Amino acid sequence: MRKFALPLAIILSVAVALLMNANDGTAPARFESQDDHAATHTMGDLILRDIVVSTGPGVHIDPASLPAPGAINDWAEIRKVETDSTDEQTRVRITYQVFYGVRGPETAELPPMRLRFEGGGGSPDVEAPALPVSVMPLIPPGIPDEKVAIRALRPAEPRTYSPYPQWLALGLGAFGAGLVYLLWMRGLLPPFAGPLPFRRACRDLQRLADQPSRDRAACLLLHRALNETAGEAVFGNRLEAFLERHPEFAGIREELVEFFALSREMFFAEAADGDAYARCLKLARRARRLERKSS
Amino acid sequence: MVTAAKLREALASGLLVLGLAVAAGSGYRLIVLARENAAIHDPRDVRLDENTTPEVVFAKAQALDRTGDHQEALRLYHTIQNDPIPAFRQRVHYNMGTIYLREAASLWHARGVLEHARVNALVEMAKENLKEALRLNPADQDARFNLEYAFRITPPPKEKEKANWQGTKSSVFSTLPGIPGGGP
């Protein structure tokens, strides 16, 4: 029996030492501090109470021990409870709201709080002490109750128009821009049409409507518009080259051929065609439409 | 080139239609808002239904309160006290609490303890509504002031009535007649 006594004592002492080391690793949770509220509060004030508890690693607060939002007595309510934990400490922030009606300065106490911590081999509960709070009245103490004027009702507030005026402006802007562009494309916006040769030819041709000898002038105007468009003089034999560079006028190829034939007869054969003005005007209008689309 | 022109024309047409739709929608909303604001400005002839916006109901309740119909005003405020917008809800609770408080104060100053029960009930309703207004907006100074006043005019508790207890036990002590004026 004695020969086992020494090894047993050694084993026991080692085990005790190990257990002691294990306990050293976890310090128990310990109340450290809380905010003091020297400031005076009035009805409806929010009071922030920060409770700091020092803890060891692995020690955490039991959420069930935290107070729940709601009334805690007849003059204070808990509005919010937040926790912030690190390895070394846990901070519990409680937001109270004061509903204490007083006629003169008074002091009351927010009740003490017991917080439970878990982990790390178990920690005792931590009690945060009561917190004294000073409360002042809003209504001056000397005024009799019947002389106090109750604050007035809130008026109805007109509804704000925002953001609809902005949306309306945006919509009208987009509508206007689209409309202007479409009109411009169709040549229905003369002030913005720009110096387009066939547009100007149409306008000049219309001015000739009442002139007695207008056929030659009409042909000249149309020639000038073609030359301006091409950037050079366009003759009948170079019409195809012109149409290759300006395919937008391909749709009036036949009318152009006829126009050159008409022009040749009028200027070189001295033939009179009473219908020349009307044909020139018609051709100019078609050319103007094509010119708009391609511009 | 013609294809590009067609594309531009299609884009312009789309822009025109989209702009027209946006302008029409916004214009309609502006007309509705203008009508609602006219009703808020002068709610006397407004007929309420389930589609009436809460702010118009609020204005109607206030107009009723001004004409002395406090009960109908409170009934209307009750219908909008659960509005999802906290700032609006806060104003509703403030007004309800203030109407209850005003009623309680006038009754308390006029009749005193003779109307103890009614004053107490009105003050409690005022407190609940003003507290809710302060929960929603703790910075509301008017709600703070009125709530403090509600505490000031809270009637003191009445004396507890004597228990009119009648025993049913067949104990001799419970059936012994008392000695008038107290026994030695």
Q: Contacts for A281-286 with beta carbons within 8 Å, 24 or more apart?
A: A281/A202, A281/A205, A281/A206, A281/A218, A282/A255, A283/A222, A283/A252, A283/A255, A283/A256, A283/A259, A284/A198, A284/A201, A284/A202, A284/A205, A284/A221, A284/A222, A284/A225, A285/A202, A286/A251, A286/A252, A286/A255
Count residue pairs from A and B with Cβ separation < 8 A: 169
Task: Quick: pLDDT tens for B64-77.
Answer: 999 999 999 999 99
Give the mean model confidence (pLDDT) for residues A16-24.
43
Nearest residue, CB atoms, A146 vs list B15, B91, B109: B109
Tokens of B5: 């022109």
Task: Quick: pLDDT tens for B80-107.
Answer: 999 999 999 999 999 999 999 999 999 9
Give the mean model confidence (pLDDT) for residues A176-191.
79
Separation in Å, CA of A21 to nearest CA in chain B: 51
What residues of chain B lie within 8 A of the CB of A45, using their CB? 138
Q: Which of A41, A45, A159 to mutate to test the interface with B (most CBs of B within 10 A)?
A: A159
Pick from B147, B165, B154, B157: which is nearest to B97 by CA? Answer: B147
Nearest residue, CB atoms, A248 vs list B1, B9, B36: B1
Cβ A225 vs Cβ A198: under 8 Å: yes
Pick from B114, B116, B117, B122: which is nearest to B70 by CA? Answer: B122
**In the CATH scheme, what is the code of domain A30-141?**
2.60.40
pLDDT category at A23 given cuts 50, 70, 90 is very low
pLDDT at B181 > cutoff 60: no
pLDDT given for residue B184 in this prediction: 46
Say how far apart CA A254 and CA A243 lie, in whole Å.
11
Give the mean model confidence (pLDDT) for residues B128-136.
97
> Of residues B178 and A278, which shows the higher confidence score?
A278
pLDDT at A43 > cutoff 90: yes
What residues of chain B lie within 8 A of the CB of A97, using their CB? 134-135, 138
Q: What residues of chain A, 59 to 98, have a C-beta less than 8 Å from chain B?
A: 77, 79, 97
pLDDT given for residue A24 in this prediction: 45
Helix, coil or strand: residue A188? coil
Task: Quick: pLDDT tens for A210-219.
Answer: 887 788 889 9
Q: Is A174 close to B16, i.e. CB distance below 8 A?
A: yes
pLDDT given for residue A22 in this prediction: 43
pLDDT category at B154 given cuts 50, 70, 90 is confident
Indicate where chain A has its CATH 2.60.40 domain(s).
30-141
> What b/e sequence results for A272-282 when a residue is b if at least 16 CB atoms lie within 10 Å of its CB, and e otherwise?
eeeebbebbbe
Write down the ipTM of this complex.
Answer: 0.77
B40 touches chain A (CB under 8 A): yes
Give the mean model confidence (pLDDT) for residues B23-39.
94
B152 touches chain A (CB under 8 A): yes
